[in-house]
Structure 1
């Protein structure tokens, strides 16, 4: 790859952070970011800045993580440019006021609606594993929703962070969007500021610090965290397919993916075949070995390398594939470990690296109970087997998301909401969900003056008991069930719909509805004629 001169990584002065936030809050108060046309213009400028700086991004990600060209385009650049286009094409629809469903007739007179208001000034902190994608993706939602934004990229990928700052400063309005660079001191200074929302992606340990800082100002937070994600392979699964797909998800970015499986629970009768298919797939993916492959990334830094190595050293499992390490190159070979203890270090800790532990289980129930014991709320679950088996896994577990007969693919679909549950995160984003993440749904009603006679009963004094009686008649719902929990049937509605499920023929149903309508008309007309005669 040709070398490009990249902008230097420069720490933002801590003393400048309050003034940066103050500038953005002043701009937000001016309502500059409210018009849809302004937001769309900013997003379009961001798109072209991404395109214009593609080579710099390729070089930066190669220096920081030795990411391949394919992976950089697929998982970083293209993901963001596609998300920008989707947001600009959908924004007018997203911003429209909504009319709530199932509103009572009386309440409809107040023309209730839900307006989509921006939250205000938001802080977004990005992680190191997908430094561009996981920083710019939530920022796109925040811009689309009309907020002003401070982005804090990960200092662990300084080259990528510097290019992102260049992109923001050349493409976006600096009175509305700012990039703050730094490490712990700068992040601490940012957390000391007052925000209208904080969006954090990273480890659960750091998330606790962020949440504690946010609570001081009652700031809402969205937390996108990791997870000890299980893959479950039943004895009826397509073993070759499972091996290839799980190896793909675990070798992407050298396993530094919060969604990838942390371990595999496989029916013990298929474990030998699974290991063999993983061995075959390894040779297919990396014919000359992972270390020589331009398609295999490196661990981000020596601290992460040593943490993963320590997990491997402390494991009582048997390495059956791989195991090579090179600290100087920050290289860890994709390593398959067969373990027997569900408390093994490579199972109960998140590796965030290319380790693939396999724990044999007796059956599907054993796999589900083991997964729940290791981590009750992972970010993702990956079930391989028949439809009935994978449905059983989904019913018996909790997770932020799931891919059936695949690894982590649910997190790649750009307009599918992505987020964790429990200690794997809170809140979701991507596509429309990103807009909603940074939007306040503001309920609004308009009470016309001509309704005053109808509403007079709400004013004191309430000594007149007829007021309460009239109020109850207007507002109380009548139950459609009796004291024995039996559903009541509205005969008129039953005739009108013909019991829904009983009339299977569309033509018959339409004929009967027409007949009911005709009888109602005749009955109404007859009533009117009788009244005239009387």
Structure 2
């Protein structure tokens, strides 16, 4: 049974904001012991409520529980565990290397929390995309107001219920609702805003933040392409591309959005796609509701159906839809650049195939378009890898893998250009919510060196103070 979704009263939002702001100003969230306790409590919350979180997510999407457990709950626990192991090291002051004449100044970089953070999470992964950035904020010493997605009422309601039971309610709060509640939040001055969603709303968030000169992280998405090289293992490329597309029924910001495949290997690639499609779903993706999730709501369902109906390409696999919100994983061949499937991010279970002459044409095709959040390339060629690195741009670039390439805590994840700006994951999440505050302590013993800077000025003092300008440049 679906939970009744409760909007946070608009009158409470100002009080929530004032409460967490006062908490930050009091200094409560700064000590490392406090941060550790909150991270431990968050981990405890996720572990003790694993089944409840999976159940809530299942009610919102009806997707396979293994996807929910692996990509939502387990991934969130992994993130908070990694932070617990490392955040004290991340928070240590740094002593940068300085020029010899300033070696006595005690130059130091202190890791200071930015302040109160607003995190606006999307519907497609309501658990991990709420808590992954929140872990970074907690580790950095920042209070958080979390705005989960209204399109996932069950997960969002459960998060709002659980969070104050485990974390300090004076520092961490949840605001549930839709456009009115989000608009009310964006009217306020935050110290950092972290938004995951689409470019249209991202522009609204960035505009609101600009009024207060608030730093923003925008994780937006875009049309993430797959390049197939003629030398790659086509069977593996088809299998891993399908795996990347099947996650959450294609409702993933880094899902393969379209495939660029050379004409010479296109028939073999299509055959490989068909083989793995039938292996994964012998009776089709819609046959067993435990193996295939639904589209988040009727508006998104109709949008994706319309894209399929309007395409001029040929549907070679899938194409069916049901009244309960499901759409079969659909493979479309013969797609051109002006097709309906190429005008916006698909964000659903449709995979267009575009045939090109070679990898160079694929690279040129990508370079002419907005920078994607992810780019996938299947190749054995070192030359092709070098070419793609040098001649394309993307938030993340992965060779010979799709979805699993985002595992781990070491590499930054974030958009570039149209796909957003800023990044997070692991230490970078901590850095996102941290201000690097430089400090110096200049000893009195430096005064003889400083004497020429004081008035009255003279030609001699000028020469002394500008002598570094006359040092010859090194030979090329």
TM-score band, normalised by the shorter chain? over 0.9
Matches of 1:131 and 1:355, distance apart in 2: 22
> Paired residue for 1:311, among 307, 312, 316?
307
Corresponding residue number in structure 2 for 1:82: 78
Q: Please give the secondary structure, in 1, of the residue aligned with 2:402.
A: coil
Corresponding residue number in structure 2 for 1:511: none
Corresponding residue number in structure 1 for 2:240: 245
Question: Which deviations, in whole Å up to 9, do the C-alpha atoms of 1:469-490 show, x marking residues without a partner?
Answer: 22234x55845523xxx2xxxx
Corresponding residue number in structure 1 for 2:328: 333
Matches of 1:384 and 1:453, distance apart in 2: 64
Question: Which deviations, in whole Å up to 9, do the C-alpha atoms of 1:191-249 show, x marking residues without a partner?
Answer: 00110111000000000111111111111110000111110101111100100000000
Q: Please give the secondary structure, in 2, of the residue aligned with 1:235.
A: coil
Distance 1:416 1:167, change over 3 A: farther
> Paired residue for 1:438, among 433, 436, 445?
433
Corresponding residue number in structure 2 for 1:481: 474
Distance 1:70 1:457, change over 3 A: same
Question: Which deviations, in whole Å up to 9, do the C-alpha atoms of 1:418-464 show, x marking residues without a partner?
Answer: 001001010000110000000000111111112122222222222x2
Corresponding residue number in structure 1 for 2:291: 295
Matches of 2:61 and 2:471, distance apart in 1: 63
Contact 2:198 2:221 in 1 (8 A): yes
Structure 1 position 59 matched with structure 2 position 52:
no
Structure 1 position 33 matched with structure 2 position 54:
no
Corresponding residue number in structure 1 for 2:412: 417
Aligned positions of 1:199-348 closer than 5 A: 199-293=194-288, 294-326=290-322, 328-348=323-343
Matches of 1:444 and 1:479, distance apart in 2: 32
Q: Please give the secondary structure, in 1, of the residue aligned with 2:252.
A: coil
Corresponding residue number in structure 2 for 1:381: 375
Q: Please give the secondary structure, in 2, of the residue aligned with 1:159.
A: helix
Cα shift at 1:38: 0.3
Q: Please give the secondary structure, in 1, of the residue aligned with 2:466.
A: helix
Corresponding residue number in structure 1 for 2:88: 92
Moved over 6 A (4+): none
Comparing 344-353 with 403-412, which one deviates more in the overlay?
A: 403-412
Question: Which deviations, in whole Å up to 9, do the C-alpha atoms of 1:57-84 show, x marking residues without a partner?
Answer: 1111111011222111110011111111
Q: Please give the secondary structure, in 1, of the residue aligned with 2:45.
A: helix
- For structure 1, list consecutive stretches of 5 or more residues without a partner in the other structure: 487-534
Corresponding residue number in structure 1 for 2:113: 118
Comparing 423-432 with 284-293, which one deviates more in the overlay?
A: 284-293
Contact 1:402 1:408 in 2 (8 A): no
Question: Which deviations, in whole Å up to 9, do the C-alpha atoms of 1:79-124 show, x marking residues without a partner?
Answer: 11111111111011100111123x2111222111111000011100
Cα shift at 1:414: 3.1
Matches of 1:187 and 1:92, distance apart in 2: 33
Distance 1:471 1:384, change over 3 A: same
Contact 1:380 1:408 in 2 (8 A): no
Matches of 2:411 and 2:119, distance apart in 1: 20
> Paired residue for 2:10, among 5, 8, 14?
14
Contact 1:39 1:146 in 2 (8 A): yes
Contact 2:3 2:153 in 1 (8 A): no
Comparing 434-443 with 361-370, which one deviates more in the overlay?
A: 361-370
Contact 2:373 2:415 in 1 (8 A): yes
Comparing 390-399 with 248-257, which one deviates more in the overlay?
A: 390-399
Cα shift at 1:340: 4.0
Question: Which deviations, in whole Å up to 9, do the C-alpha atoms of 1:289-309 show, x marking residues without a partner?
Answer: 211332321110010011111
Corresponding residue number in structure 2 for 1:527: none
Q: Please give the secondary structure, in 1, of the residue aligned with 2:351.
A: strand
Matches of 2:306 and 2:239, distance apart in 1: 27
Corresponding residue number in structure 2 for 1:518: none
Matches of 1:477 and 1:248, distance apart in 2: 62
Cα shift at 1:394: 2.0
Comparing 452-461 with 395-404, which one deviates more in the overlay?
A: 452-461
Matches of 1:259 and 1:478, distance apart in 2: 51
> Paired residue for 2:460, among 458, 466, 477?
466
Corresponding residue number in structure 2 for 1:196: 191
Contact 1:43 1:84 in 2 (8 A): yes
Cα shift at 1:409: 3.0
Matches of 1:354 and 1:370, distance apart in 2: 22
Corresponding residue number in structure 1 for 2:163: 168
Comparing 115-124 with 340-349, which one deviates more in the overlay?
A: 340-349
Q: What TM-score, normalized by structure 2, do the two folds share?
A: 0.97
Q: Please give the secondary structure, in 1, of the residue aligned with 2:117.
A: strand
- For structure 2, list consecutive stretches of 5 or more residues without a partner in the other structure: none
Question: Which deviations, in whole Å up to 9, do the C-alpha atoms of 1:268-317 show, x marking residues without a partner?
Answer: 01111111111111111123321133232111001001111111111110
Q: What TM-score, normalized by structure 1, do the two folds share?
A: 0.87
Q: Please give the secondary structure, in 2, of the residue aligned with 1:325.
A: coil
Q: Please give the secondary structure, in 2, of the residue aligned with 1:178.
A: strand
Q: Please give the secondary structure, in 2, of the residue aligned with 1:130.
A: coil
Structure 1 position 149 matched with structure 2 position 135:
no
Corresponding residue number in structure 1 for 2:351: 356
